[in-house]
Amino acid sequence: MNELLTILERECTNKEFSLKELLIKSDYKKSKLYEWLNELIKANKVVKIAENVYKLKEHKEISVPKEIMTLSERLKKIITRKFKFTALSILLPFAHHTLYSINYLIYVEKGSGEDFKEAISKLDPKLTVLLDPKKEDVLLMINEADRNRILIIRENAYFYGKEYGIAYPETAFVDLYFEVSRDKIPFMKTDIKEILKELILKNLINYSRLMRYAHERKLTAEIKNIFLELSKEIKLPEGGLNVLQKVS
């Protein structure tokens, strides 16, 4: 693995590379290169941005809010049902405008919303927990009850794109876009594109995973349009462009 990392740091810094290119640059077998690449991904040295397209990982990662990480760890010990912290629970560090209120989001297995609400309220009594609220309900809590830390629970049947109860950046983005575009939470719509822009510039996106999840949420065309808008401002990775060109 370290031998491959040396080659990548010498030949592929600040640019994308494919498995095919590595076969040309090295004398290793395809199976061994694939094994090492997976090990480097797990070690946070390499990021996969599309099918068979990779890039060295920059030393910039999302700092998930500590209270979310702690809550996720504690929930795993007391509840066996599926859950995924997503949207601003993950992407809060990328919100460009100062937020008076923080709207965390967790998707939970269907039929388990009340159980999660009760458990979370006990684990963090200072956190306001709302089960499937409308935007008006959230605004009421913010404006009249003066609650500025709110965790929204929504029941869901699909939990793709998570690890240990924490959504990957790209799936968290799709969930945030859904919540904002469907007017489910109070949030500045103009920040959506800026968040995606920063995720792209910091190489935090697996484009194949993002577009697969966008398809599952029936958002393919909308998400693709945001990428097309951004392509006028920044250069999208070649691997990402290839994925987008295949999307109808």
Longest Cα–Cα distance of the chain, Å, equals: 66
Question: Which ranges in the chain are annotated with CATH 1.10.10?
Answer: 2-56
Residue 146 vs residue 160, higher pLDDT: 160
Say what the pLDDT of residue 1 is: 66
Q: What digits encode the pLDDT tens for the residues 175-193?
A: 999 999 999 999 988 899 9
The pLDDT value recorded for residue 220 is: 95
Q: What is the percentage of the chain residues whose pLDDT exceeds 70? A: 95
pLDDT in tens, 120-150: 999 999 899 999 999 999 999 988 777 778 9
Q: What is the DSSP string of 22-58?
A: HHHHSS--HHHHHHHHHHHHHTTSEEEEETTEEEEPP
Contact 49, 205 (CB under 8 A): yes
Question: Quick one: pLDDT at residue 14?
Answer: 67
> Domain 2-56 classified CATH 1.10.10?
yes
Confidence of residue 117 (pLDDT cuts 50, 70, 90): very high
Q: Mean pLDDT in the chain? A: 87
Pairwise CA distance, residues 104 & 172, whole Å: 11
The confidence band for 76, taking pLDDT boundaries of 50, 70 and 90, is very high
Residue in the structure block whose two tokens are 């904002």: 180
The C-alpha R_g of the chain, in whole angstroms, comes to 20
